[in-house]
Structure 1
């Protein structure tokens, strides 16, 4: 009996160690991958922004018109920058275009076909809650009135949180142009953030809704 108990204890210890290593990989290993990808996306975004500013300067003083919004980049490329003042000045993520598995491993992903920054409709962004850097780990802390910022080449769009709900994964209507009302024509500019709920589970989705509250021009250094 003593030998059996010793063997069971050793197996339990080994299982615990394996589990600890696995959890460590999920939190640190995948996070390191996302950190590297964010560096590449940041460079990609800066290049896009520099090109956009150059186009605007070239058109200034002429009759040439610059499109109000540049077309969305191809999936997998940098799309915009996401900031949440409540989470501190260091909280900044480059949003990637696309919500596929490979896209979300790079950082928060913009749902293709959803509204762009400041546009009427619903700008929907998905992100991991715990693994791959957990960009949306603290989304459960967001409350009504909290500010979410979206930066583009020349503008910063300020959204204010209006609601936070938990739904089943089948509730894809939360990313519709009018959340919860597919087919309804949008009249306001909205932002929706979706992530898994609870932590370390995909049983539900935590959804944060926000509405456009303002916009301001930004410089290259801002």
Structure 2
């Protein structure tokens, strides 16, 4: 009878070992996933906060230089006529986006470019699209969840809401006209006339793009706006 028990005990011991190993693997996998999610949630947010601080310092220096030059070459100083700065270098800060609906604290320095490195810093301006205030389509893209999620709430915007874009000497005030969800392959939304590739633009438009739904890149959420007015930037 003892040999029989021994034979029964061997497979039983082996099964317990397998179960224990599987449990340890699942716990380890869970910890790895938790650490990864924590990195995406807090690690990237911290990186974006530090990047925004650097971009704001960069903008302060750039705007002081541009407004000084503007005052020197135009009688009456920089408040005379809002001017659009020269197209910035890739990865460099050049403007600020503000959305009053989200409160006065909602303010993001933007960079030229939409590469992975660019969007980790904040909203990025699509190279080749119109500059703020110009006739055509000014397009900005931004993360909806990670890296601070600057465009996390843009789906809440409704027709008539303001989107403000500050440059060195001007504030360009756009009003939302609508939004839609498209496939990532639909590049017509960034055309000079959104949805009409090849059409000649006659208005100054603004387009915001971000992933949809949250935590997924299956689609793109697009917010459309049109320029209502441009005015001298208050602190210029």
TM-score (norm 2): 0.86
The counterpart of 2:224, out of the listed 182, 200, 209, is: 209
Distance 1:190 1:66, change over 3 A: closer
- 1:79, 1:110 within 8 Å by CA — same for their partners in 2? no
2:199 aligned with 1:199: no
The counterpart of 1:37, out of the listed 51, 60, 63, is: 51
In proportion to residue count, which structure has more helix?
A: 2
The counterpart of 1:190, out of the listed 205, 209, 215, is: 205
Q: What is the alpha-carbon distance in structure 1 between the residues aligned to residue 176 and residue 18 of structure 2?
A: 57
Q: What is the alpha-carbon distance in structure 2 between the residues aligned to residue 87 and residue 9 of structure 1?
A: 45
Q: What is the alpha-carbon distance in structure 2 between the residues aligned to residue 41 and residue 27 of structure 1?
A: 21
Structure 2: 5+ residue runs without aligned partners? 1-14
2:42 aligned with 1:28: yes
- 1:55, 1:66 within 8 Å by CA — same for their partners in 2? no
The counterpart of 1:90, out of the listed 82, 105, 116, is: 105
1:8 deviation in Å? 4.1
- 2:177, 2:225 within 8 Å by CA — same for their partners in 1? yes
Q: What is the alpha-carbon distance in structure 2 between the residues aligned to residue 114 and residue 76 of structure 1?
A: 15
Question: After the TM superposition, which residues 32-111 of structure 1 pair with which residues of structure 2 at under 5 Å, given as runs?
Answer: 32-61=46-75, 68-111=83-126
Distance 1:188 1:174, change over 3 A: same
Divergent runs of 4+, >6 A: none
1:90 deviation in Å? 0.9
Structure 2 counterpart SS, 1:54: helix
State the Cα deviation string for residues 93-147 of structure 1 (Å, max 9, x = none): 0010011111111110001111111111100001111111111111111111111
1:220 deviation in Å? 2.4
**Which structure's CA Rg is the greater one?**
2
- 2:82, 2:230 within 8 Å by CA — same for their partners in 1? no
TM-score (norm 1): 0.91
Structure 2 counterpart SS, 1:180: coil
RMSD of aligned Cα (Å): 2.0
Q: What is the alpha-carbon distance in structure 1 between the residues aligned to residue 232 and residue 82 of structure 2?
A: 16
